[in-house]
């Protein structure tokens, strides 16, 4: 922090998240820095009191809803439905004004963005079990978190993350609009074209 670096710390449990927030707070008190964009990767069990601190301190959480798709049944069994309801609290973070991004955490989970977006939108596992429905978000919110917010988290908002002239032309063309179809359609969507740096590298 003193050297002007952005800090990104991994935390899953609520105690670990609290420790990281304490450390970030002490660093800012000792040496205030605007727009540090310190992050918490996973930020899994971030309960309401911690969400309020994340919002107040201006910390950026990167969530992994793909865990719910891949491991939802095991999490329900080992954590229980009450705790699982607060895992990756996407809706609650957004409602508190926190910018949250999402990612795959590959190779721990599948890198397929369709499954990750589906889990964020539905809070369902691969076997169709609900994993905390109240934390569901809209397709638009999930897409923004996967693209523009992710770019902002790495200070790349003027380079990528949106379809805009002058930014990197990295995108895919799908055979359906994920914001207009039912969430289940996401899992069946086909990539018709992949563009990297303005050059087509795949056509289906």
pLDDT tens digits along 99-134: 999 999 999 999 999 999 999 999 999 999 999 999
pLDDT at 164: 93
Count of beta carbons in the 10 Å neighbourhood of residue 16: 17
Q: What backbone phi and psi angles, to 5 degrees, belong to 37?
A: 55, 40
pLDDT in tens, 42-66: 999 999 999 999 999 999 999 999 9
d(CA 168, CA 52): 34
Answering whether pTM is above 0.85, one says: yes
Crossing angle between the packed helical segments 48-57 and 14-30, to the nearest 10 degrees:
20
Count of beta carbons in the 10 Å neighbourhood of residue 20: 22
Residue 140: both structure tokens together: 């638009």
pLDDT tens, the chain, 204 aa long: 999 999 999 999 999 999 999 999 999 999 999 999 999 999 999 999 999 999 999 999 999 999 999 999 999 999 999 999 999 999 999 999 999 999 999 999 999 999 999 999 999 999 999 999 999 999 999 999 999 999 999 999 999 999 999 999 999 999 999 999 999 999 999 999 999 989 999 998
Residue 12: both structure tokens together: 């899953």
- With contact defined as beta carbons under 8 Å apart, do 111 and 104 qualify? yes
pLDDT at 163: 93
Provide the phi-psi class of 46: left if phi over 0, else alpha when psi is between -120 and 50, else beta.
beta
pLDDT at 111: 92
Count of beta carbons in the 10 Å neighbourhood of residue 47: 15
| 3 alpha carbon, distance to own chain's centre | 27
pLDDT at 194: 96
- With contact defined as beta carbons under 8 Å apart, do 118 and 185 qualify? no
């Amino acid at each position: 922090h003193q050297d002007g670096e952005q800090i990104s710390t991994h935390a899953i449990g609520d105690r670990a998240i609290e420790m990281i927030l304490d450390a970030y707070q002490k660093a800012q008190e000792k040496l205030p820095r605007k727009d540090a964009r310190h992050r918490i990767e996973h930020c899994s069990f971030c309960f309401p009191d911690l969400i309020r601190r994340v919002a107040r301190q201006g910390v950026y959480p990167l969530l992994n809803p793909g865990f719910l798709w891949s491991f939802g049944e095991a999490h329900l069994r080992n954590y229980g439905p009450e705790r699982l309801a607060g895992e990756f609290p996407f809706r609650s973070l957004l409602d508190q004004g926190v910018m949250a991004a999402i990612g795959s955490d590959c190779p721990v989970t599948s890198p397929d963005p369709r499954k990750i977006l589906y889990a964020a939108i539905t809070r369902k596992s691969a076997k169709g079990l609900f994993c905390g429905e109240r934390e569901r978000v809209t397709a638009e919110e999930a897409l923004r978190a996967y693209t523009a917010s992710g770019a902002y988290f790495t200070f790349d908002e003027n380079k990528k993350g949106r379809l805009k002239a002058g930014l990197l032309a990295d995108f895919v063309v799908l055979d359906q609009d994920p914001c207009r179809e039912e969430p289940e359609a996401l899992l069946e969507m086909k990539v018709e074209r992949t563009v990297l740096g303005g050059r087509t590298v795949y056509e289906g």
